[in-house]
């Protein structure tokens, strides 16, 4: 696509990656993604904000063929989907200055072998005048790397937010359809922002000091109603969890599945919402999104070689890394002759600040007493969830 205007002398460039289905060799991309670059043209100087993933450099190169001069290349984040084409942009505009913060520059030197002599280091709150266009740099560490920053365009009230408020969504639309973009944005938050929820909340407060009319992220469409995504981020990062159980499960011979089905029905009867995730088919983005607001995590697994099934271990590892705001957790499942499945899964989720509820482990097929134990667990969860709001 050619460059398209989002404001007077402000254009969105970059590439829509319609067919990419995996990010960082781990994150599924069911809706593709985009790598957004922005061109801000003042009466005196021109600035390019971020580049694109090197795999899509040709798209940006063709767009830049219409741009005779770039004076500043602003790099907001070192990860290669943002900065990876920087060396090629510098080959095209060798006189341009790389504008970034000190930590980001050091990482660009490490990751891209950029010459520090080509850089202009900026600090938090510093400005860059382009002639009728004033850029202010806002350091926003840990959304989601330590060097990340945003750029504020005062005259048009645009926040170029980098990964902050982004979404993995390939679309021909420049501006976000809120209903269409909400779920990709929630997945995106869960996958990379949730581990840094406290820092996310602080940085929401920080960027809200600026009157924002538009948010232009580095992935996904531009938000013309910024309050929508900012309110969602604040809710995801700070609001209490919901009256929901996230129930990732795997079953080998049916015993664990029988327990999952019974517990699901028992929870629903007691007014508790349930989100089930079959770990043999679910992608980790969907599971991550399901963990954002759940108050309880119940991991269901058979015992394999005296421990949890590998799929359940992977789910525990993911939850431990993402550090969702769940308040309670437990394990249910089956075994053939013995093992330490609950103990091992609990050890794997050591980062979670949760109350551990009594596990329910069954030898062989569940019996009436085992189903009764699941009913007790459901009652306990319902009591713990008392007062929590339902997920909308």
CB 297 within 8 A of CB 327: no
Q: Are 226 and 169 in contact (CB under 8 A)?
A: no
47 and 175 assigned to the same domain? yes
Average pLDDT over residues 354-383: 98
- Indicate whether 205 and 255 sit together in one domain: no
Query: pLDDT tier at 391 (50, 70, 90 boundaries)?
Result: confident
Picking from 24-33, 113-122, 230-239, which range would have the lowest pLDDT averaged per residue?
A: 24-33
pTM of the model as a whole:
0.94
338 pLDDT band, cuts 50/70/90, is confident
Mind listing the pLDDT tens digit for each residue in 251-303? 999 999 999 999 999 999 999 999 999 999 999 999 999 999 999 999 999 99
pLDDT of residue 340: 94
Q: What is the pLDDT of residues 113-154, one digit of tens each?
A: 999 999 999 999 999 999 999 999 999 999 999 999 999 999
pLDDT at position 185 over 80: yes
Last residue of a domain, one of 192, 209, 238: 238
**pLDDT band (50, 70, 90) for residue 25:** confident
What is the CATH classification number for the domain harbouring 369?
3.40.50.360
Task: Kindly state whether residues 365 and 259 are assigned to the same domain.
Answer: yes
In a domain, 392, yes or no: no
Q: Is residue 56 part of a domain?
A: yes
Asked if residue 389 is part of any domain, the answer here is no
User: How far apart, in whole angstroms, are the C-alpha atoms of residue 95 and residue 127?
Assistant: 20
Same domain for 164 and 136? yes
Query: 188, 208, 238: which is the final residue of a domain?
Result: 238
Last residue of a domain, one of 215, 238, 261: 238
**Within its chain, how far is the Cα of 182 from the centroid?**
12
Whole-number pLDDT of residue 59: 98
Considering the chain, what is the average pLDDT of its residues? Answer: 97
Residue 392 reports pLDDT greater than 80: no
110 belongs to a structural domain: yes
Of all helices (H) and strands (E), which one includes residue 205? helix 197-207
3-state secondary structure at position 295: strand
Tokens 């767009």, located at residue: 63
**Does residue 201 share a domain with residue 218?**
yes
> Is residue 391 domain-resident?
no
Query: Is residue 217 located within the same domain as residue 309?
Result: no
Q: Predicted confidence band at 316 (pLDDT cuts at 50, 70, 90)?
A: very high
pLDDT at 328 over 80: yes
Concatenating the DSSP letter of every residue in 85-101 gives THHHHHHH-TTPEEEE-
Q: What is the mean pLDDT of residues 52-64?
A: 97
CA distance 336 to 313: 18
Same domain, 63 and 197: yes
Question: Does residue 390 belong to any structural domain of this protein?
Answer: no
DSSP conformational letter for 213: S
| 213 in the same domain as 96 | yes
CATH number at residue 177: 3.60.15.10
Kindly indicate the confidence band of residue 70, based on its pLDDT and cuts at 50, 70 and 90.
very high
Which residues pair with residue 304 across a beta bridge? 307
Whole-number pLDDT of residue 196: 97
How high is the pLDDT of residue 26?
87
* Strand bridging mode 328-335 / 355-356: parallel
Q: How many CA atoms lie within 13 A of 284 on its CB side?
A: 21
Task: Give the model's pLDDT for residue 1.
Answer: 82
In this predicted structure, what is the pLDDT of residue 384?
98
Looking at the fold, whether 54 and 186 belong to one and the same domain comes out as yes
Confidence of residue 224 (pLDDT cuts 50, 70, 90): very high
Query: What is d(CA 92, CA 62) in angstroms, rounded to the nearest whole number?
Result: 12
86 and 111 in a single domain? The answer is yes
Q: Are strands 214-217 and 158-162 parallel, antiparallel or unpaired?
A: parallel
Please check whether residues 180 and 262 belong to one and the same domain.
no
* Total domain count, the chain: 2
DSSP 198-264: HHHHHHHHHHTTS--SEEEESSS-BBSSHHHHHHHHHHHHHSPPEEEEEEEE--SSSHHHHHHHHHH
Instruction: Give the whole-number percent of the chain exceeding pLDDT 70.
Output: 100
Does 205 fall in a domain? yes
Kindly report whether the peptide bond that precedes residue 173 is cis, defined as omega within 30 degrees of 0: no
pLDDT, average across residues 22-40: 94
Q: Is the per-residue pLDDT at 33 higher than 90?
A: yes
Give the per-residue pLDDT at 253.
94
Residue 254 lies in a domain: yes
Helix (H) or strand (E) holding 191: none
Both 129 and 180 in one domain: the answer is yes
Smallest Cα–Cα separation from 81: which of 114, 103, 101, 57?
Answer: 57
pLDDT at 173: 97
21 is in which domain, residue-wise? 4-238
Taking 80 as the threshold, does the pLDDT of residue 86 lie above it? yes
d(CA 193, CA 340): 32
């Amino acid at each position: 696509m050619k460059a398209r205007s989002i404001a007077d002398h402000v254009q969105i460039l970059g590439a829509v990656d319609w067919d990419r289905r995996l990010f960082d060799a781990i994150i599924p991309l069911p809706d593709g993604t985009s790598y957004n670059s922005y061109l801000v043209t003042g009466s005196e100087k021109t600035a390019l904000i971020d580049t694109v993933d090197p795999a899509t450099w040709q798209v940006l190169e063709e767009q830049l063929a219409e741009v005779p001069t770039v004076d500043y290349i602003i790099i907001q984040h070192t990860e290669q989907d943002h900065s990876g084409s920087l060396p090629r942009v510098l080959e095209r505009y060798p006189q341009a200055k790389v504008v970034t913060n000190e930590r980001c520059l050091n990482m660009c030197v490490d990751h891209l072998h950029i010459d520090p002599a080509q850089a202009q280091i900026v600090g938090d709150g510093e400005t860059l005048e382009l002639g009728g266009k004033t850029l202010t740099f806002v350091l926003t560490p840990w959304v989601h790397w330590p060097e990340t920053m945003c750029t504020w365009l005062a005259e048009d009230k645009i926040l170029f937010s980098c990964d902050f408020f982004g979404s993995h969504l390939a679309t021909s639309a420049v501006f976000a359809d809120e209903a269409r973009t909400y779920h990709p944005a929630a997945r995106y938050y869960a996958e990379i922002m949730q581990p840094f929820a406290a820092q996310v909340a602080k940085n929401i407060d920080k960027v809200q000091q600026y009157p924002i009319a538009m948010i232009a992220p580095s992935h996904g469409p531009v938000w013309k109603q910024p309050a929508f995504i900012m309110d969602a981020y604040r809710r995801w990062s700070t609001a209490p969890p919901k009256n929901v159980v996230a129930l990732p499960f795997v079953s080998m011979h049916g015993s664990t599945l029988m327990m999952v089905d019974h517990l699901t029905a028992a929870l629903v009867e007691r007014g508790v919402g349930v989100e089930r995730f079959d770990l043999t088919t679910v992608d980790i983005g969907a599971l991550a999104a399901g963990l954002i607001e759940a108050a309880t995590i119940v991991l269901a697994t058979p015992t394999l070689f005296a421990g949890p099934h590998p799929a359940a271990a992977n789910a525990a590892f993911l939850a431990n890394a993402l550090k969702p705001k769940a308040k309670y957790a437990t394990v249910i499942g089956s075994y053939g002759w013995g093992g330490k499945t609950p103990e091992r899964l609990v050890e794997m989720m050591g980062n979670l600040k949760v109350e551990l509820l009594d596990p329910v482990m069954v030898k062989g097929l569940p019996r009436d007493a085992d189903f009764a134990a699941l009913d007790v667990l459901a009652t306990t969860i319902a009591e713990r969830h008392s007062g929590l709001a339902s997920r909308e």
